[in-house]
A and B are shown apart, each in its own frame.
Chain A
Amino acid sequence: MVSSSGRVDRPWFAWAFWIISALAIGAVVFFVQAGAGGERITVARLSVIDTVGYQPPPEASLRAVGGKLVTLPHAPKPDFAPVADPSPQRIATRVTWYALTVPPLPDDGRQLYLYIPRWKSDGSLAIYADGRLVSQSHANLQWNGSNQPIWLALPHAAGSHPPRTLDIRLQHVRGIGGAFSSVWIGNFRQLAPRYYVRDFFQVSLPAFSVTAFLATGVFSLFVWLSRRKEPIYVLFFLTSLICFLRMLHTFVGERPLLVSDAWFGWITINSAYWLGAALHLFGIQLHRGSQPILTRVLLINTGLWTIATLPGLLDPTLLAAPIYVNLLLLGSVTAFNFVRLSIKARSRFALWLAVWYLVALVFAVYDVGLQQNLVNIESVFLTNFTGVGLTLLCWYIMFSRYIEALETATQAKADLARRLAQREAELTASHARLREIEHRELLHQERQRLMQDMHDGLGSTLVTALRAFEGDRAADLDAVGILRGCIDDLKLTIDSMEPVETDLVLLLATLRFRLQPRLEAAGVKLVWEAGEAPPLEWLDQRHALHILRILQEAFANILKHAGAREITVSVRAEEGQVVVRVQDDGRGFDPAAASRGRGLANQRNRAEAIGGAILWEPSYCGSRLALILPVKKPSAAASHERSGA
């Protein structure tokens, strides 16, 4: 949830904004309070009557003449752990009467109000003006919203306005409660500022903040639902939920609760334990540590209290004090552990959270004091404000994380784009390099091929002719024939450069097209039996030239030696092979004869180079050459043999 590398370039004006805002709120509160007025009653006569169970308040107050003179706010010292019968009918109770004398107020006809900052008692409250009952509590006995200041409009009846006396009746569990703050009386303009400011800080602010915190927790829950492997989100939700439950008693209770006092007390008191446990687990997640022993102790303690205070067992409301002390001890251990861990983890957020925890602990000590009537009961429960702090802190953590995530995403995107561009450039470069190499290789192969071909054919013929001319033996030469042969050679070379796209028959047709004039000139008839041939996938330029040269040689041999009248060329597909046959009706020859050895060897070599074979098949007359070509690609080894020769 928190990164240890927070942003350090925090703009100073953000701090300035917060400080100025806080000062402004303080100033507003100060000025509102300064305009307040009203009469504050701080003296009362106190009389106490022990009772059993709860009775409804009488119609009229029992104006006891005697009674002890006390100063308000007044708080009797409560028992630390009162033992009481849980049944409301048999519980040991006490009625505490506070009799107040109202100072003389001018009767200007305006509505008068009572403003009571706090009454602090489990039990019931009744208020009498001039001896007559004007208000009584009507909600639960224990969780009765006593944290909320009382704002009471005095009945505006003739003869009793403004009242001369006020009586307060509190009926409460013997040993606890029965405390009462000073009482303010005055008109709206005088009392409203006091009431609203107190109500805001004591009730509304904690209520708002804890609700907002819960909303954040729900958001976190949804995050967890889509990221189940990160329990910190669900822990955050649980923390916020428990916090909400814990704070409920500060702003509900004025009206009857939906659950019984027993259950509400169980929830309210135990939620402090639950909060401690949840915070501890949350902290562990935050620090990415694990503390099995402390975790176990905390959970066992929490579990024990949770079970022990179930309704019907111990009454958590009555036992709140010892429970809170126990909680304080555990809280201290957890808080200091939290600080230690966050320092160890070097996490700024965790440290802040730990500091918050410590502050909350101090506040809690104060609040226990308030709960035990050790401090002025008119003061405020401070832990209520730690909820505000926690909410703000968590918001800040979420805000930072969100901003961080956005920055990371932006950075990652930029990073990705950069890496992509880099990779693309690399690819382009490598592609260009490869293409160049390929191109060079292709040129090299083509040059090799043509050189090889010309070395065997055109070149040697021209050199032979040249030597003959030099030696004055030109007359013996058929110069025109030689040149025509050279041109034919050249034409076949050029033909071999054009792609034939695996079409052997087209290649043979090209050969016929080139040789036909020579054959006709020699008076030889050509019978063309070009059957179907499957596409030869391996038939590229190099292979094409080999095939052309093999057959050219065959024709040349026939014309030169065989004395044939007719040549038959046939193409046939036979079991994965294509066979080209050249049959003549001439004299025939022995392939082993030495005289034509070189030409035949050449044909054999070429056939092998393209992965084919050449055969001289027996024939009843003349000779029959068969060029056998594979349909599938010949092995690489065979095709490289020749090009490397």
Chain B
Amino acid sequence: MSGLSQDMMTPTLARSEAPFATTVSSGDGESGMSFEAASETPLKVALVEDDAAFQEAFRTALAGAPDLAMVGVAATAAEARAMLAEPAVDVLVVDLGLPDGSGIEVIGEAHARWPGCAIMVATTFADERHVISSIEAGASGYLLKDSPLPTIAQDIRVLHAGGSPISPRIARQVLMRFRPDEKPAEQVETAERPGVPSLSEREKETLQLITRGFSFEEIAELMGVSRNTVLTFVRRIYAKLEVRSKTEAVFEARAYGLL
């Protein structure tokens, strides 16, 4: 058994340093992005989750953060849709396994109705399939369900400020999706297809470094850019992933004569 289990990670400890690649460090003063900016109006946060235990933990996490306000909770996809009819929130956290539907659809609808809202998918394992599907539907990050409560609050702040987490496996998967030689026969076709974004060299380099285990700070140093620039790259990559998936869908629909 791993001896790590003996080394408890206490909430106070986790507060100061962000976990690798999941959040943007709040202590990074030079970044110019301060996520602890004293905001008079707290961020409005909503949760779509059927598990009462996590709802409770989430509430607790937000209760301890004065800058975050829990404005809505939906336990089903239907409730979530009802919630979407109301005014937009700043951050929406969605669990994928809802009793009456897929959280992916909720994310898609939320992204359409609340374009300014930062959407996170709540996941235990951050497995790339679920996370990438969510990002393609319009999410821009994920929340690890087993994170300590202050980390949850911090992750929400970071996401809202433009920082997206990414794991090496997700980076790898994204790289593969954008690889031009994936379908050599369609290469020319793809090149001619307008609206399908491709990754810039810098973005590719960022992803490659992430797959090799480097943290945002290390990547920034290796690439000679600021940490914020790296974060921007990631957010942009996510945006391209979403656009790409939509364009692909349209293109495929055309190819099959649906459009």
A interface residue numbers (CB < 8 A to B) = 456-458, 460-461, 464, 478, 480-491, 494-495, 498, 503, 505-506, 508-510, 512-513, 515-518, 520-523, 528, 530, 552-553, 555-557, 559-560, 599
Q: B211 contacts the other chain (Cβ, under 8 Å)?
A: yes
B20 adjacent to A512 (CB under 8 Å) = yes
Which residue of B9, B124, B212 is within 8 Å of A521 (Cβ)?
Answer: B9
- 10 pairs across A/B with beta carbons < 8 Å? A457-B2, A481-B8, A506-B169, A506-B211, A513-B169, A521-B7, A521-B9, A521-B14, A556-B2, A560-B7
A520-B146 in contact given A484-B5, A506-B169, A530-B214 (Cβ < 8 Å): no
In angstroms, Cα B150 to Cα A353, docked, is 109
A488 adjacent to B5 (CB under 8 Å) = yes
Q: Which residue of B has the minimal Cβ distance to A569? A: B213
Binary A-proximity of B5-27 (CB < 8 A = 1, otherwise 0): 11111100110010111100000
A559 adjacent to B3 (CB under 8 Å) = yes
A498-B128 in contact given A512-B213, A518-B4, A528-B215 (Cβ < 8 Å): yes
Contacts of B22 in A (CB 8 A): 517
Contacts of A503 in B (CB 8 A): 172, 211
B7 adjacent to A557 (CB under 8 Å) = no
Q: Which residue of B has the minimal Cβ distance to A549? A: B2
Contacts of B17 in A (CB 8 A): 520-521
Contacts of A517 in B (CB 8 A): 9, 14, 19-20, 22, 147, 151
In angstroms, Cα B17 to Cα A483, docked, is 21
Q: B100 contacts the other chain (Cβ, under 8 Å)?
A: no
Interface residues of B: mostly helix, strand, loop or mixed?
Answer: loop
A528 adjacent to B5 (CB under 8 Å) = no
**Size of interface on B: residues with Cβ below 8 Å to A:** 35
B2 adjacent to A505 (CB under 8 Å) = no
Contacts of A487 in B (CB 8 A): 124, 146
Interface residues of A: mostly helix, strand, loop or mixed?
Answer: helix
A553-B2 in contact given A506-B169, A522-B7 (Cβ < 8 Å): yes
A481 adjacent to B168 (CB under 8 Å) = no
In angstroms, Cα B2 to Cα A560, docked, is 10
In angstroms, Cα B4 to Cα A522, docked, is 10
A498 adjacent to B212 (CB under 8 Å) = no
In angstroms, Cα B1 to Cα A488, docked, is 11
The smallest C-beta distance from B200 to any residue of chain A, in angstroms, reads 22
In angstroms, Cα B125 to Cα A535, docked, is 26
Contacts of B79 in A (CB 8 A): none
In angstroms, Cα B125 to Cα A512, docked, is 14
Contacts of B36 in A (CB 8 A): none
Most buried by B among A458, A464, A517: A517
Q: Which residue of B has the minimal Cβ distance to A486? A: B5
Which residue of B146, B213, B218 is within 8 Å of A484 (Cβ)?
Answer: B146
B20 adjacent to A520 (CB under 8 Å) = yes
In angstroms, Cα B3 to Cα A522, docked, is 13
The smallest C-beta distance from A175 to any residue of chain B, in angstroms, reads 96
Contacts of B3 in A (CB 8 A): 485, 553, 556-557, 559-560, 599
B8 adjacent to A478 (CB under 8 Å) = yes
Q: B167 contacts the other chain (Cβ, under 8 Å)?
A: yes
B4 adjacent to A488 (CB under 8 Å) = yes
In angstroms, Cα B126 to Cα A488, docked, is 12
B169 adjacent to A510 (CB under 8 Å) = yes
List the 6 closest pairs (A to B, CB-CB), nearest first.
A485-B5, A556-B3, A509-B213, A516-B20, A521-B9, A481-B8
B214 adjacent to A485 (CB under 8 Å) = no
Most buried by A among B2, B7, B9, B22: B2
B212 adjacent to A480 (CB under 8 Å) = no
